[in-house]
Structure 1
Amino acid sequence: MKNIVRYSPSTGAGSPDVWGIYEADTGSIQYIVADPKSHEAALIDVVQNFDPRSAKTDFSSADQVLALAKENDLKITWVLDTHPHADHFMASCYLKEQTGAPNAIGEKVCEIAELWRDYYNLPNAFAPREDFDHLFAEGDTFKIGELDVEVWLSPGHTLGSITYIVGDAAFVHDTFMYPDSGTSRADFPGGSSKELWDSLQRILALPDETRLFVGHDYGKNGRDPSWEATVAQHKASNIHLAGDVTEAAYRKQRDERDATLALPDRMLHALQVNLRAGKLPEPEADGHRYFKIPANKF
Structure 2
Amino acid sequence: MIENLENKCKVEIFPDTETATGQILIIDERTKKVAILDSVLNYSANSGRTTTTSVDKIIEVVEREKYEVDWILESHIHADHLSAAAYLKKRFPNAKTAIGECVTVVQKTFKAIYGLDDKFLLDGSQFDRLWKDGDRFQIGELSVRVLHTPGHTPSCVSYYIENDSVFVGDTIFQPDVGSARCDFPNGSASNLWDSMKKILALPDYVKIYICHDYPPQGRELSYVSTVGDQRHQNKHVKDGVTKEEFIEMRTTRDATLKCPNLLLPSIQVNIRAGDLPPPEENGISYLKIPLNYFKQ
User: Shared topology, TM-score over 0.5?
Assistant: yes
Which deviates further from its counterpart, 117-126 or 223-232? 117-126
Aligned to 1:38: 31
- Matched-pair contact (CA < 8 Å) for 2:177–2:215: no
Q: CA deviation at 1:263?
A: 0.5
Rate the CA distance shift 1:125–1:30 in 2: closer, same or farther, 3 A.
farther
Aligned to 1:236: 232
Q: CA deviation at 1:213?
A: 0.4
Q: Quick one: which of 111, 116, 120 aligns to 1:117?
A: 111
Residues 1:94 and 2:87 are matched in the alignment: yes
Q: CA deviation at 1:154?
A: 0.5
Aligned to 2:289: 293
Any gaps of 5 or more consecutive residues in structure 1?
1-5
Aligned to 1:64: 57
Which deviates further from its counterpart, 68-77 or 195-204? 68-77
- Matched-pair contact (CA < 8 Å) for 1:117–1:125: no
Q: Quick one: which of 240, 245, 249 aligns to 2:245?
A: 249
Q: Deviations over 1:197-247 (max 9, x none)?
A: 000000000010000001101232142111100000111111112241000
Q: Quick one: which of 145, 149, 158 aligns to 2:153?
A: 158
Which deviates further from its counterpart, 249-258 or 129-138? 129-138
Residues 1:213 and 2:209 are matched in the alignment: yes
Q: CA deviation at 1:123?
A: 4.4
Aligned to 2:222: 226
SS across alignment from 2:5:
coil
Residues 122-201 of structure 1: matches in 2 within 5 Å? 122-124=116-118, 126-127=120-121, 129-167=124-162, 168-201=164-197
- Matched-pair contact (CA < 8 Å) for 1:177–1:216: yes
- Matched-pair contact (CA < 8 Å) for 2:182–2:192: yes
Q: Which runs of 4+ in 1 moved over 4 A?
A: none
Alpha-carbon RMSD: 1.2
Aligned to 2:42: 49
Q: Name the amino acid aligned to 1:266.
A: L
Which deviates further from its counterpart, 238-247 or 199-208? 238-247
Structure 2: distance between partners of 1:30 and 1:126: 27
Any gaps of 5 or more consecutive residues in structure 2?
none
Q: CA deviation at 1:72?
A: 3.3
Structure 1: distance between partners of 2:194 and 2:143: 24
Structure 2: distance between partners of 1:219 and 1:68: 27
Rate the CA distance shift 1:227–1:205 in 2: closer, same or farther, 3 A.
same
Aligned to 2:99: 105
Q: TM-score, normalised by structure 1?
A: 0.95
SS across alignment from 2:87:
helix
Q: Deviations over 1:151-210 (max 9, x none)?
A: 111000001111111231100011111111011111111100000000000000001000
SS across alignment from 1:139:
coil
Structure 1: distance between partners of 2:215 and 2:47: 26
- Matched-pair contact (CA < 8 Å) for 1:42–1:76: yes
Q: CA deviation at 1:73?
A: 3.4
Q: Name the amino acid aligned to 1:116.
A: F
Q: TM-score, normalised by structure 2?
A: 0.95
Q: CA deviation at 1:18?
A: 0.5
Q: Deviations over 1:121-152 (max 9, x none)?
A: 22425335332111111111110011101111
- Matched-pair contact (CA < 8 Å) for 2:36–2:72: yes
Q: CA deviation at 1:86?
A: 0.2
Structure 2: distance between partners of 1:171 and 1:108: 18
Q: Name the amino acid aligned to 1:201.
A: K
Aligned to 2:278: 282
Q: CA deviation at 1:98?
A: 0.5
Which deviates further from its counterpart, 158-167 or 62-71? 62-71
SS across alignment from 1:135:
strand
Q: Percent identity?
A: 38
Q: Quick one: which of 77, 80, 83 aligns to 2:73?
A: 80
Structure 1: distance between partners of 2:239 and 2:161: 28
